[in-house]
Chains A and B, each alone.
Chain A
Amino acid sequence: MEYILVYICTIFLLPLLSFLLQLIAPRSLSSAMAYLSTALLCLSSILSSICLYAFYNDSSWTFADWGIYSALKLIEIPWVTLPDFHIGFGMNFDKLAVVMLLVVSLISFLVHLYSIDYMRGDKRFSRYFAYLGLFTFSMNGIVLSNNLFFTFIFWELVGFSSFLLIGFWYEKKSAGNAANKAFLVNRVGDIGMFLGIMLLFMSTGTFSFNGIQYADIDNGIMTIAGLLIFMGAVGKSAQVPLHIWLPDAMEGPTPVSALIHAATMVAAGVYLSLRIFPFLTLEALHVIALIGATTAIVASFIATSQYDIKKILAYSTVSQLGYMVCSIGVGAYFAAFFHLITHAMFKACLFLCSGSVIQAMHHSQEKLHDHSKDPQDIRNMGGLRSKMPITFFAMLISTLSLCGVPLFSGFLSKDSIVAGAISYYNSFHGLTFIIPLFIILSAALTAFYMFRLIFLVFFGESREISIYSHIKESSYYITAPLILLSLLSFAFIFTFPSFNPLDSHGWFYSMLSTVTPFQTLGYDMYKVESGIHHAHTSAMIISITVAFIGFLLAYFKYYLKRDILSLSTNGIYIKSKNLFRNKFYIDEAYEYFIISPFLRLSKIASIIDWNYYDQRFIDSWGWITIKLSKISSALDYHLLDQFIVDGLARLANRSGKELQSSQNGVLQSYLFSGVLGLIILLIIIQQLG
C-alpha cells in the first residue's frame, strides 16, 4: 500500500506547489503558468481516482473498523511536543477521505480549466490561480487531517482563501464588503468550533477523532462540545443563522463560486459533521436536524423570488446544505455523504453554466458598448436555448438532478434523505414532524425555483433583444467542464453496474455503506438504517410527486405564463414575495441588532477610554501633581527662600554696614580699640583665673 501513501501525499501537496509557483511566476509567463496549474490539478485528480480504485478493491480500509484502523495511522508528523501535550499532523486514510479527495481535485481541475477562459485578460490572472491552489491545498488538509487541531488550522486557511477569492475584484466596494462578511461570519462559527475543540481536549486529553470517539465522557459535556464544533459547520456551511455570507459571496468570480461555494468549502462543514458524527449525542443531533431543516426551507423560500442568477443558485446551495445537515441530524449518514458528492457535481455544473451565460451576456454587452444592464439578472435573459445549446443541456441535466428526478444522481441521494427524515419522524413522533415537512416542502420549492430559472433564462422570448442577438456559445474551455459534470450527474455513474434508476445500489453504495459508523453516541445506527429502508418507498413516491408539483407550478407560471389561482394579485402572496426577496430581512436584522450597536459601543468605548479615562482621570493626576507642586513651590519660594534664607543674608548685610563705621582710617582709634580690647581681656582673665 506504500505507493498509495505516496500518491496521497502528492495529491495533498500538488496544489501547494501550484500556489507557490504562481506566486513567484513573472507576469509574462502567466498564461503558461495557468496551464501548468491546471495540469498539476489534473494529475491530482488522476492520482485520486487511482487511490479510489485501490480503496474500492481493498475492503479492509473502513472507518469503523477500529482494529485495523489503528494500524493505519501511518503518517503522523510531530509538530509540537511538550512533556504532557502533543500535537502532530496525522492523516486519515479511509474511503470517506479518498472520495472527498477525488471530488475536490476533480472539481478544482475543472474550475482551473474553466477559469483559463473565464478569467482571461484579468490583470491579476496568476494571483487568481495561486489563490485557487492555496484553497485546494487547504481543502485537502481538512479532508485528510485526523485531528481536530489541524482540521481547525486548515479550516481557517480555507476561510482565508475564500476571503481572498471573494474579494478578488476588490475595486468594487461590494466585493470587499462581501469578503469581510464571509471571513467574519466564518470567524464567529470558528469561535464555537475552537471552544468545542478545547472542551474536548480538556475532557479527553486528545485532539484526534478516533481518540475522542472512544473516550468516555459525561453526556452533557459531549453534547455541548458537539454542538460547539457543529457551530463551526454552521458558519462554514452557511446554515441559518450564519448563512448570510454565502449570497454575498457571489461577488467573486463565478468559477470561484462553483468551486468554493458550491462544491467544496461549504461541504467542509458537512464533512466535519460526518467525522464527528460518532460522538454527537442524541440531543445534539436533534438540534442539528432542526437547524438543517430550517435552513433548507428558509433558503428555498428566499430563492423563489431572487432575480440574480447566481443568487438563486447560492440560496439553492444553502438549502441543499441544509438537506445534508438535516440528514446527518436524522442519522442518514450515507445519504448525507452521497448527497454531498452528487450536489458537488451538479451544483458546480449549475454554477459553471451560469458563468457561461453571464460571460456570454457580458461579451454581448461589450459588443454593444452598453453596460447598463446587469448581465446576471434573469429578467434580462430569455430564449437562450437556441443560442447556447450545450450550456442549456448541461444546466437542464443538473437541474433535473437537483430536483430529484429519477435517472439522475440527485434523485438517489435526495430520496435517501427524505427517507431518513420520515423514519426520524417515525421513531420520535410528536413535533418532529416538522423535519420531514420542511424537507418535503423545500423539495417542492426547489423544483419550483429551479424550473423558474430554466424557463426564464432559456425558454420564451428574450426580454432584451439587443443583447440576445449577440449571444453565442462559450468556448471549449468552458463547455468541456460543463459536459463532464453534467455527465457525472446521471444516476448510472453512481449505480454502476445497476441501471435501475430507482435503485441506489451499485459500486458507490457497496463501497461506502461500510463507512457508516456503528459505534456512535447518538443513534442506534442499525435501527436507523432499517428505518430508512422501510421509509424508502414512501419517500420515493413523495419526493417524485412533490418535485413534479413544483415543476408544474413553474411550468404554468413561467412557461405558459398563466396565472394559476390568480396568485399574483393575492395580497399575501405579494407580501410574502417581498419578504422572500428581501431574504427575510435577516441581514438587516443583523445590522440593526448586532453590528450597528457594536460599532457604536466600540466608539463609546474609545471615547470613554480616551476622553474620560485618559484625558480626565489619568491626566487629572498630572494636574493634581502640578497643582501640588505649585503650592509646594510657593511655600518653598516665599517662606523658605525669601523669608528665611534671604533674611539671613540681609541680616549679614546690615550688620556689615554698621560695623563699617569703625573703619575710619584714623590710627588712634584703632589703637584705642586695641587697648580697650586688651583691658577687657585682662579683666576677663582675672575673673576666670
Chain B
Amino acid sequence: MNTLESYMIVASAVFCLGLYNVMTRRNAVAILMGIELILNAANINFIAFNRFNGTGVLDGHVMSVFIIALAAAEAAVALAIIINLYRNIGSVDVDEARSLRG
C-alpha cells in the first residue's frame, strides 16, 4: 500500500474535490479554498514522485515549498481582488458579477 499509485489517487481525489469546489460554489472565498485544494493536490503529487522516482535529488520537495509560498501569495492577491469586488458590487457572490455577459 505504500506505492506511488495510492499517493496519486489521493492527489487526484483532492484535485477533483478542489475542482468541483471551484466550479460549483458561489462564494468567491470558497472558490479560493477550492484553488488551495488544487494547489495542495499538485503538492502531494510532486512529493510522491520525488519519493518514488527521484534518487539523490530533492527537486520535488523544493517544488513543493515553492508552491506553498506561491499559494500564499496568490491567496493574498485573490483576497485583495475579492475585497475590491465586494466594494464594487456589494456581495462576494460570483453570480452577481456579470457585466461581461455577452
Contact = CB atoms under 8 A, between A and B. Distances in A.
A–B direct contact (CB < 8 Å) = yes
Interface of A: 660, 662-668, 671-672, 675
B87 interface: no
Interface stretch (B2-10, B64-72, B90-98): B90-98
B89 to A, nearest CB: 12
B22 interface: yes
B23 interface: yes
A677 to B, nearest CB: 13
B23 A672 contact: yes
A667 B24 contact: no
B4 to A, nearest CB: 20
A519 B98 CA distance: 129
A672 B99 CA distance: 19
Contacts of B94: 666-668
A665 B97 contact: yes
A664 B23 contact: no
B56 interface: no
Contacts, number: 29
A665 B19 contact: no
Contacts of A667: 94, 97
Contacts of A662: 102
A675 B20 CA distance: 11
24 contacts: A660-B102, A662-B102, A663-B102, A664-B98, A664-B102, A665-B97, A665-B98, A665-B100, A665-B101, A665-B102, A666-B94, A666-B95, A666-B98, A666-B101, A667-B94, A667-B97, A668-B22, A668-B23, A668-B24, A668-B94, A671-B22, A671-B23, A672-B23, A675-B23
Contacts of A666: 94-95, 98, 101
Report the 5 A-B pairs with minimum CB-CB distance, sorted nearest first: A663-B102, A665-B101, A665-B98, A665-B100, A667-B94
Contacts of B22: 668, 671
A664 to B, nearest CB: 5
Given A663-B100, A663-B101, 6 more contacts: A662-B102, A666-B101, A667-B94, A667-B97, A671-B22, A675-B19
Interface of B: 19, 22-24, 94-95, 97-102
Nearest to A670: B100
Contacts of B23: 668, 671-672, 675
Nearest to A664: B101
A666 B94 CA distance: 7
B88 to A, nearest CB: 14
A662 B101 CA distance: 9
A668 B98 CA distance: 11
B29 to A, nearest CB: 14
Contacts of B102: 660, 662-665
Contacts of A664: 98, 101-102
A87 B99 CA distance: 105
B99 A665 contact: yes
Among B22, B23, B24, B95, find the residue whose CB has the most chain A CB atoms closer than 10 A: B23
**A662, A666, A671: which has the most chain B beta carbons within 10 Å?**
A666
A664 B97 CA distance: 10
B11 to A, nearest CB: 16
Nearest to A659: B102
A187 B90 CA distance: 115
Contacts of A660: 102
Nearest to B24: A668
A660 B102 CA distance: 6
Contacts of A672: 23
A458 B87 CA distance: 144
B67 to A, nearest CB: 20
A672 B97 CA distance: 17
Nearest to A668: B23
Contacts of B99: 665
A666 B100 CA distance: 8
A350 B3 CA distance: 157
Nearest to A667: B94
Contacts of A671: 22-23
A660 B94 CA distance: 20
A668 B100 CA distance: 13
A593 B19 CA distance: 116
Nearest to B99: A665
Nearest to B25: A668
A657 to B, nearest CB: 11
A664 B94 CA distance: 12
A664 B22 CA distance: 17
A668 B97 CA distance: 11
A668 to B, nearest CB: 5
B42 to A, nearest CB: 15
A656 to B, nearest CB: 11
Most chain B beta-carbon contacts within 10 A, residue among A662, A667, A671, A675: A667
Contacts of B97: 665, 667
A318 B31 CA distance: 134
